[in-house]
Amino acid sequence: MRAVWLKEFGGPDVLQPGEAPDPVPGPGQALIAVTFANITFVETQFRSGGMNPFQVQPPVIPGNGVGGVITSVGAGVHHDLVGQQVVASTGGTGGYAEQAVVPAASPLIVPDGLALDAAVALLADGRTAKLLMRAATVGAGERVLVLAAAGGVGSLLVQLAEHAGAKVVAAAGGPRKGAVAADLGADRVVDYSAAGWAAEVGQVDVVFDGVGGELGATAFPLLEPGGRMVVYGLASGAWTPVSDDDAAARGVAIRRGISGTPEDLRAFTESALEDGATGRLTPVIGQRFPLDRAADAHRAIETRATIGKTLLVP
């Protein structure tokens, strides 16, 4: 089969398309013919030798989220799964490929009314955004600032916070991204690539921070007493430089929100897919790349050229 190999850590060009043996599902596994594979930001950081959430070393086929049809199952797995259209986390690697083996407990059947590409776009980001909303405990009427609001997770947070009755300020880089956040229902849009952007935001109750660094540091003082900074990523390359003590001194809290039990993760993923099917959540699929061009996809993501989710198409 065709697949994308990471043979060493480095820049986007270390992602090399090539051949890989057709995977065979072992006991307790299912095989998916992949129609779409998602790319998450952390995979660009893994590729470059930074974060390594699954503690794997090259050579490896990256990719933790796929959607397609189950074509076979291993011993001990119910045959009814074969032929089902599903989305699934791979368990860490193997997603950038024409076929992927996943633990049989992983696939979720795509609900009626939800297109497969939308389901793949919602798989990781939907679950993450829902976990973050739980961590933030957003109340009706609260003011919520979403950083990177046109990104994969950010674009869903804008919608979920709106549904919770919050007043959402969407902060993103440049007018094109701001327009996306406005279309998703943000009450106000701020271009944080412009000097003095924080003054335009004003005081807020919640900050969703997947960016870190200087932008996160600029957002932190905007929190009112009682406010919550929900920190979940470092797209800038550095965490927001504030400690729990800094927060306590200001009467605010820092919450790190993407953990949950396996049951939580499954339930939150199902809930995101259901919201996608009913139209409550709209994933923004900003760009699609053929599988062989995974390097270009990573380059686009890390140069901030992407909007919403980026999918690979085998």
Residues forming the site for ligand NAP (CB under 6 A): 40-42, 124-125, 128, 148, 150-154, 172-173, 177, 210-211, 232-237, 258, 302, 304, 306
81 vs 300, which CB is nearer to ligand NAP? Answer: 300
Residue 251 CB, nearest approach to ligand NAP (Å)? 26
Cα separation of 159 and 144, whole Å? 11
Residue length, the chain? 314
Q: Which residue is nearest to ligand NAP (CB)?
A: 151
Residue 149 CB, nearest approach to ligand NAP (Å)? 7
Cα separation of 129 and 251, whole Å? 25
31 vs 211, which CB is nearer to ligand NAP? Answer: 211
Residue 79 CB, nearest approach to ligand NAP (Å)? 31
Q: Under a CB-based contact definition with an 8 Å cutoff, are residues 29 and 107 in contact?
A: no
41 vs 220, which CB is nearer to ligand NAP? Answer: 41
Question: Residue 194: which residues within 8 A CB-CB, separation 6 or more?
Answer: none
Strand-pair category, 223-231 with 204-209:
parallel
Q: Measuring CA to CA, how many Å separate 253 from each of 140, 218, 222, 228, 243?
A: 19, 16, 13, 5, 10
Q: Under a CB-based contact definition with an 8 Å cutoff, are residues 104 and 74 in contact?
A: yes
29 vs 128, which CB is nearer to ligand NAP? Answer: 128
How many Cβ atoms sit within 10 Å of the Cβ of residue 237? 12
263: amino acid identity, one letter: E
Q: What is the CA radius of gyration of the chain?
A: 19
49 vs 76, which CB is nearer to ligand NAP? Answer: 49
Q: Under a CB-based contact definition with an 8 Å cutoff, are residues 151 and 180 in contact?
A: no
Cα separation of 265 and 107, whole Å? 13
178 vs 227, which CB is nearer to ligand NAP? Answer: 178
38 vs 72, which CB is nearer to ligand NAP? Answer: 38
58: amino acid identity, one letter: P
Residue 263 CB, nearest approach to ligand NAP (Å)? 18
